[in-house]
Amino acid sequence: MQVKQAFKMAVKSIKGNRFRSFLTMLGIIIGVASVIVLVALINGFSSDMSESFSTLGTELITVNITGRSADNQVAVDEMIEVLDSSENLAYCSPQVNISVTAKADNENVSTTAFGVNEDYTSIKGYQLNEGRMLQYGDTKNRLKVAVIGTYIADTLFSGKSPIGKSIKLNAESYEIVGVLEEKADSSEGSDDDIVLIPYSAASRLTRNSTISSYLFNASSSTSVEAGINDIQAFLNTKFTSSDYYRISSAAESLEQVNSLTSTLTLVLVGVASISLLVGGIGIMNIMLVSVSERTKEIGIRKSLGGRYRDILTQFVIEAGLTSAMGGVAGIFLGIILAYIASGLLGMTVKISLLSVAVSFSVSVGIGILFGYSPARKAARLSPIEALRYS
């Protein structure tokens, strides 16, 4: 008997008992739908993370030096030397954070001043709006100049050009030489709430001459690891143990997030698989009932020439088709629920085609696997006894 016929018979059987077929499929539908939704949510989360890391800059490397000893200080020039000698690194800037009260005319505002060098804005991705960025000369000549963000500019100079004007940082006077372009939303605490001064001047504000924070940019996102190795190689010549410093990168953090989401996905899929397993048992159960109820029919079919394999094929296809239909319904339900969840929870969803393909295949597989035993039972019935059954 051709497979096409078996399919038609299977469809007839399923249609003939719609409610029961639906109940049979329910386990599969729920299992598949939950896999689709959960994977979509995790995928969305992971994708969001990737995006925010890439805006941070996946080439960003942060170095913090915690060890302090008079003999083993790291000088800015030495770090610059590391930058120059490595093909994996593109930029380097020290970063000294100082809380300041910035005053101009009659306005003042509390903010953070960053003591940096001319590479800083390239590393952080700031663009110039007015004037100029910090230059090497500012540091070399120990000038007291500042570049400010739009929040500072708006708050202290209310729209007028601050170039050339003076700004007081903790009572020290700086000349404003540049205004950065808006990066975020010009609000307090945002990326636009920033004052950049040469690090040479910054040390004067803090009365601390050692610089403990450096930002590097790798030449590309693929050379981050090599770049970190270069930095590490240098720092190990300075310090006896790696406890004295800490190197972290956005790429590394991203990898940790990806690893976390992978594990999370596996766990959730494992849990959802249990639901699929239960669904499979449900199918087996119903198929056994179905075989029992159709004993007479099987006897008739055998008396008309249905062989063992004809009956087996018929019931296996019926089970497989039932679970396949459950799988398709589950996929649609899962996609709809994913979008609803996204709307309600405000989370991003990204439907994974792989999860769709895998859950569909698994549901068909489960139907065939769990339908096989009842099908075998049907195929082995003795036609005489089956015909006598009522």
Partner 1 sequence: MIEFKNVYKIYHMGDSEVRAIDGISFTIDKGEFVAIVGQSGSGKSTCMNIIGALDLPSEGEYLLTGLNITRYDEDQLAQIRNRTLGFIFQQYNLIPKLNVYENVELPLIYANVPEKERYEKVIRALERVGLANRMRHYQHELSGGQQQRVSIARALVNDPSVILADEPTGALDSKTGIEVLELLKQLNNEGNTIVLITHDNSIAHQAKRMIQIHDGKVVSDTLN
Write out the residues near partner 1 by the rule CB under 8 A: 1-2, 5, 12-13, 16, 296-297, 299-308, 310, 383-384, 387
Closer of 2 and 209 to partner 1 (Cβ): 2
Q: How many CB atoms lie within 10 A of CB 144?
A: 18
Closer of 9 and 61 to partner 1 (Cβ): 9
CB under 8 Å to 211, separation ≥6 — which residues? 74, 76, 94, 95, 96, 115, 199, 203
Find the shortest distance in angstroms from Cβ 311 to partner 1.
Answer: 10
Find the shortest distance in angstroms from Cβ 15 to partner 1.
Answer: 9
Closer of 57 and 299 to partner 1 (Cβ): 299
Cβ(366)–Cβ(280) under 8 Å? yes
Find the shortest distance in angstroms from Cβ 371 to partner 1.
Answer: 19
Closer of 67 and 383 to partner 1 (Cβ): 383
Closer of 159 and 305 to partner 1 (Cβ): 305
Q: What is the DSSP string of 263-319?
A: HHHHHHHHHHHHHHHHHHHHHHHHHHHHHHHTHHHHHHHHHTT--HHHHHHHHHHHH
Closer of 131 and 383 to partner 1 (Cβ): 383
Closer of 365 and 383 to partner 1 (Cβ): 383
Cβ(182)–Cβ(151) under 8 Å? no
Find the shortest distance in angstroms from Cβ 22 to partner 1.
Answer: 17
Which of 213, 215, 223, 217 lies closest to 90 in space, CA to CA?
Answer: 217
| 3-state SS assignment for residue 80 | helix
Phi, psi for 301 (deg, rounded to 5): -60, -40
Closer of 6 and 331 to partner 1 (Cβ): 6
Find the shortest distance in angstroms from Cβ 338 to partner 1.
Answer: 37
Q: What is the crossing angle of helices 3-16 and 308-345, to 10°?
A: 60
130, β-bridge pairs: 179
Alpha helices in 57-162 (DSSP H): 76-85, 120-124, 136-140, 150-157
Tell me, rounded to whole angstroms, the distance of Cα 287 from its chain centroid: 42
Number of alpha carbons in the 13 Å side-chain half-sphere of residue 218: 26
Find the shortest distance in angstroms from Cβ 3 to partner 1.
Answer: 12
Find the shortest distance in angstroms from Cβ 4 to partner 1.
Answer: 10
Which of 205, 177, 43, 28 lies closest to 111 in space, CA to CA?
Answer: 205
Find the shortest distance in angstroms from Cβ 12 to partner 1.
Answer: 6
